[in-house]
Structure 1
């Protein structure tokens, strides 16, 4: 992985780490379905001027089926499931469930793409997940009637990400990240549209909620997905999914900076495991692998 790819991975984790804070603010007011529909519509509309300027319409029309699939399995379904989970679970536990995506991704890539996974990379994946668990910490949680469903929703969302990443790599190789981002967001909006009349919010959003939704759409969706799809094309689906380990670390960081939440020893220890684990999983400590890399995109 080149330095530019590593920088993009860290920036992506920072953007997605903030999404858990934004969802925690907005989902109790808007509900999961309406929050995610507004999220993808705003993000898709923000990208419309770029689509027009770059004349991406022919590519969008040509790839609309694959983009609709990606919009469903990489945005609509996992976004709604994570928003639903955040109604019953603390943000830390939700982010931990989301961080299982790289582990699911290694299995999916090995079966689907016949991708060779070395023992060193498995160690990196395991070290990263242990770091996430230590970072968040095992805190007593009151088991509500919806607790089991919320946990299941978080795990299914992570598995959907693990399926979507290699699908993108196989079916949208060489397609502009702008096209994939805009098309998948519009596909997600269409997929969620039929369910909206049955889940209308019962209260108007406050300015704080509106600000959280706008930040969620523009920063944690439009900008984040451009980086994510670019990483999938440049470094492959398995390495791009390792962002899942870094997201909880940034979620904790934003909580400390923006909400004055305390930073504990377990957070420091967890972070010290996440960073090297992610580096090992991305072959950053393997000079032979680094020399073998080329600036060309994987297809």
Structure 2
């Protein structure tokens, strides 16, 4: 049952997270990157703590340092970094770059956390990475006006995500997924409130602004599904599979993001469709021994 269950988690997460990039893009119409990042953390934190606060007392004190690190690496910094990145690059391109997570997960798992991977898993990651490179190169050709230096924010986030998934597997394996998520957001919700205050959000707030109202709606959807629900599902997926398999969700996300980008007027090419097939092969291979 767990074999099929992990695939269900993977597909659901790819649909949720693959849609989050277009939601970020739409949220930025009425919000600054720092306002978006802060609101996403605050709303998600309120939801998770309202549901899972009672479970925090079950956490052993030795686990808290890892929960705090996991919270900052897996949620806090990426929430801001992706918002900043999408001020200059397309939502689909941001999702494609996010596919570096499995490669970083294997490298970091082996070098730092001593979590081994099979040759077949490594081959799957390499093939998936080739497909990702194809998508990036074609995206750059179709969108030569975009500032790809901002891709550095996404790449930095992939390194943080890789560290986070290894931390969950190595140090938080015996902690319930909802408890991990709630524990992650307890230490990061207060810095997010401080950042939001200094963005001038409260002094400039005008609910009559139609752009702001739509942006807040997108942030609410992003927070409930793209962060709160997805975090719990992802933590569970890591525990029932492997770091490599769990992080391979980032190979499926670009497919969903590209579809949303196409609907929103972003360009799509047959080469990108071919790259998608290559990515799926990589996902299949990276699942071996998972």
TM range (shorter): 0.7 to 0.9
Distance in 2 between the 1:135 and 1:250 partners? Answer: 13
Question: Which position in structure 2 is the counterpart of 1:6?
Answer: 7
Aligned residue pair count: 279
Call closer, same or farther: CA 1:183–1:123 in 2, change over 3 Å: same
- Does residue 241 in structure 1 map to residue 247 in structure 2? yes
Alpha carbons 1:22, 1:216 under 8 Å: kept:
yes
Equivalent residue runs for 1:58-69 within 5 Å: 58-60=57-59, 62=61, 63-69=63-69
Deviations 1:83-104 (A, max 9, x none): 1111111122212221111111
Consecutive unaligned residues of structure 1, counting only runs of 5 or more, are 284-288, 294-299
Q: CA deviation at 1:227?
A: 1.1
Equivalent residue runs for 1:88-107 within 5 Å: 88-107=88-107
Distance in 1 between the 2:146 and 2:276 partners? Answer: 28
Distance in 1 between the 2:218 and 2:123 partners? Answer: 37
Deviations 1:246-267 (A, max 9, x none): 11111112334x5376654223
CA RMSD of aligned residues (A): 2.3
Equivalent residue runs for 1:10-89 within 5 Å: 10-51=11-52, 55-60=54-59, 62=61, 63-89=63-89
Question: Which position in structure 2 is the counterpart of 1:296?
Answer: none
Deviations 1:97-129 (A, max 9, x none): 211111111100111232333332222112112
Distance in 1 between the 2:58 and 2:144 partners? Answer: 48
Distance in 1 between the 2:28 and 2:225 partners? Answer: 17
TM-score in terms of structure 1 length: 0.84
Question: Which position in structure 1 is the counterpart of 2:130?
Answer: 130
Call closer, same or farther: CA 1:115–1:51 in 2, change over 3 Å: closer
Call closer, same or farther: CA 1:61–1:196 in 2, change over 3 Å: farther
TM-score in terms of structure 2 length: 0.87
Alpha carbons 2:40, 2:222 under 8 Å: kept:
yes
Alpha carbons 1:41, 1:186 under 8 Å: kept:
no
Q: CA deviation at 1:131?
A: 2.0
Q: CA deviation at 1:161?
A: 0.6
Question: Which position in structure 1 is the counterpart of 2:258?
Answer: 252
Q: CA deviation at 1:203?
A: 6.2
- Does residue 276 in structure 1 map to residue 281 in structure 2? yes
